[in-house]
Every structure is written in structure tokens, then in C-alpha cells.
């Protein structure tokens, strides 16, 4: 399995660690893990560094995950990089908003390693 | 909407829904098998209380409270780190646990799925304090135990639109 570079955007440092650990538990080889605690920081990372996968929380102060994703697409940053939205909100409306904004997949917290395998690995050609 | 929500209040206030949400979150994130605790020991000197607000068609809060030792143990399990004090990471972890319980409880109520939002968590640490909500519509409070520690989860609703 090829090594990939990942950006994790979440205002919670604990959740960033949990997401990274879950990715490693799927067997993914992570060449580089970038962390951002805000959407703005995430955009700055993407402007400076190539990544293969983005995972972002939705419910964040200042710039939420949906706005982060909209700006990412508007600024044409990482145009072919898959984005996974992670949140406690799992209504049909929230999923629809995430997909319309340009997300490829959706994980509801709390998530299992199996759910990460099922939804994230196909996006990076590692299913 | 108000009439239908009020008709659902019995289901919202069903403690089984809270228990199932706690079981799911603590089971998935910590690998803990939580049991109801009829005699919780929550009298540690320092307590950590995480609060996530509920707003929209239902307003209120989800509150997770644990003693300092229990909070450190929970977040140690979440992160693989060890903690000797209630630092920012412990507070952050407790906030996330509370957020996940709130979100899971809400997702079990179809009427609340799209019309009720969650705030970012706030965390209070200290000694000898109480949270009080005046005249709530309903309040669910259960104490649980797992791995030798106790914690309490409250869902309080102070308004239905």
C-alpha cells in the first residue's frame, strides 16, 4: 500500500489524534500528517503543501467545515483531493450539505475502524 | 412543529435513549462497557464538566460530569497519553465525549435531526459547583460506571419551539 499525505482539520487536538490513529489502524501508511485546528489553517496548509486526503470536522468555531470546503473548492486548492467530512451531525440534510459542498464521504462520530476502512480507503485507492 | 415536538416529549425524555447513546459512544471510543451506577461516587475534590448546548427546535444542553481522576482516565484511553493533571487535552477530550453523546442522542430523535444544532463544547473545572436550569421541560440524568470510575450524563431541555 502506497504512503499518503493527510490533512486533518479539527479544533479538537484529541479528535485529530483519534482520526490519525484510526487511519493507521486501517493499514494506511501515512507519509505525512498535517494538522490544522481551524479551517483557515487548513487552507494555508493546502496552499503550501500537497496532500492526498483531507478529513475535516464540520462543527468548528469561526470557519466551519462546510465553509472550509467551499473555500477550498473556490480557490481551486487540491482540486482532485478527496475530502471526508467528520461530525456528530448525521441527518440527511447535513450529509446533503456536505456532498453539495464537495465532500466525497462522511463519517459520523463516534466511528469504528471498519467504517473508516469502508468509506475512506476506496478514496485513496487502498480498498 | 411545536405540537408535534411536544407530542414527542415522552420519547425525548426516555432514559433508554440516553443509556444507548452513552453505551455507543463510550463503547466505540473507549472500549468501555458502561453500566448504570445506582450509587455513583462523584464526590472527588475536583470535577470536570463538559457542556454542549442544543439550539433550534429544542433548546437545552448535554452535560457530562466526572471527577478529575475519571476524566484523566477517559482521555488517556482516548489518546494513548498519560495525564497527571487536568490540562487542556483532558478538557478537550471531555468536551469531545460530551459532543459525541449529544450528537448520538440527537440522531436517535428523527424530529431533531435537521432542526436542532449543537454548540461547540464548553468545559468547566473546579470544586463544589452545581449547574441549575430553571423550570426545564424535561431532564434526564443518569450515572454510569465503567473500569472502576463513575460519571454522570444529563440531557436537559428548557424549550421546545
A107 assigned to some structural domain: yes
- This complex has an ipTM of 0.85
* H or E element that contains A3: strand A3-9
Spatial contact of B1 and B57, defined as CB atoms under 8 Å apart: yes
Per-domain boundaries in chain B:
2-160
Q: What is the extent of the structural domain holding A46?
A: 3-120
pLDDT bracket for residue A89 (50, 70, 90):
confident
A13 assigned to some structural domain: yes
pLDDT at B2 over 60: no
A126 assigned to some structural domain: no
Of residues B13, B11, B17, B26, the one with CA closest to residue B144: B26
Chain B: give the shortest CA distance to residue A53, in Å. 22
What's the pLDDT at B1?
A: 47
Mean pLDDT estimate for chain B: 90
- The CA-to-CA distance between both ends of chain B, in Å, stands at 7
Determine the Cα–Cα distance for residues B33 and B39; give it in Å rounded to an integer.
Answer: 17
CA B52 vs CA B9, B77, B153: distances in Å: 20, 21, 11
A91 → closest Cβ in B78, B104, B114: B114
Looking at the domain B2-160, which fold is it?
Chemotaxis protein chec (3.40.1550)
φ, ψ for residue B93, nearest 5 deg: -65, -40
Residue in chain A lying closest to B116 (CA): A89
According to DSSP, the β-strands at A83-87 and A53-57 are: parallel
A4-56 residue pLDDT tens: 999 999 999 999 999 999 999 999 999 999 999 999 999 999 999 999 999 99
Structural domains in chain A (count): 1
B18-66 residue pLDDT tens: 999 999 999 999 999 999 998 777 666 789 999 999 999 999 999 999 9
Residue in chain A lying closest to B90 (CA): A14
B107 → closest Cβ in A18, A90, A93: A90
| CATH number for the domain that contains residue A13 | 3.40.50.2300
Q: Which chain A positions have a beta carbon within 8 Å of B29's beta carbon? A: 18, 110
Amino acid at each position: 500500500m502506497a504512503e499518503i499525505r493527510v490533512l486533518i482539520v479539527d479544533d479538537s487536538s484529541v479528535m485529530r489524534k483519534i482520526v490519525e490513529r484510526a487511519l493507521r489502524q486501517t493499514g494506511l501508511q501515512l507519509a505525512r500528517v498535517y494538522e490544522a485546528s481551524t479551517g483557515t489553517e487548513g487552507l494555508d496548509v493546502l496552499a503550501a503543501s500537497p496532500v492526498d486526503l483531507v478529513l475535516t470536522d464540520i462543527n468548528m468555531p469561526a470557519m466551519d467545515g462546510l465553509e472550509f470546503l467551499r473555500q477550498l473548492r473556490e480557490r481551486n486548492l487540491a482540486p482532485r483531493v478527496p475530502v471526508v467530512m467528520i461530525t456528530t451531525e448525521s441527518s440527511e440534510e447535513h450529509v446533503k450539505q456536505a456532498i453539495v459542498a464537495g465532500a466525497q464521504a462522511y463519517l459520523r462520530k463516534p466511528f469504528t475502524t471498519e467504517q473508516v476502512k469502508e468509506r475512506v480507503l476506496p478514496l485513496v485507492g487502498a480498498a | 412543529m411545536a405540537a408535534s415536538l411536544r407530542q414527542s416529549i415522552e420519547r425525548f425524555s426516555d432514559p433508554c435513549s440516553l443509556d444507548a447513546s452513552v453505551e455507543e459512544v463510550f463503547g466505540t471510543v473507549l472500549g468501555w462497557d458502561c453500566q448504570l451506577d445506582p450509587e455513583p461516587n462523584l464526590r472527588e475534590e475536583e470535577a470536570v464538566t463538559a457542556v454542549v448546548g442544543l439550539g433550534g427546535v429544542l433548546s437545552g444542553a448535554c452535560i457530562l460530569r466526572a471527577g478529575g481522576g475519571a476524566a484523566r482516565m477517559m482521555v488517556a484511553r482516548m489518546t494513548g497519553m498519560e495525564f497527571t493533571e487536568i490540562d487542556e487535552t483532558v478538557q478537550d477530550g471531555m468536551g469531545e465525549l460530551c459532543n459525541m453523546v449529544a450528537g448520538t442522542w440527537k440522531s436517535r430523535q428523527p424530529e431533531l435531526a435537521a432542526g436542532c444544532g449543537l454548540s461547540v463544547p464548553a468545559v468547566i473545572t473546579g470544586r463544589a459547583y452545581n449547574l441549575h436550569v430553571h423550570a426545564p421541560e424535561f431532564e434526564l440524568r443518569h450515572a454510569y460506571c465503567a473500569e472502576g470510575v463513575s460519571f454522570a450524563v444529563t440531557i436537559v431541555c428548557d424549550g421546545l419551539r
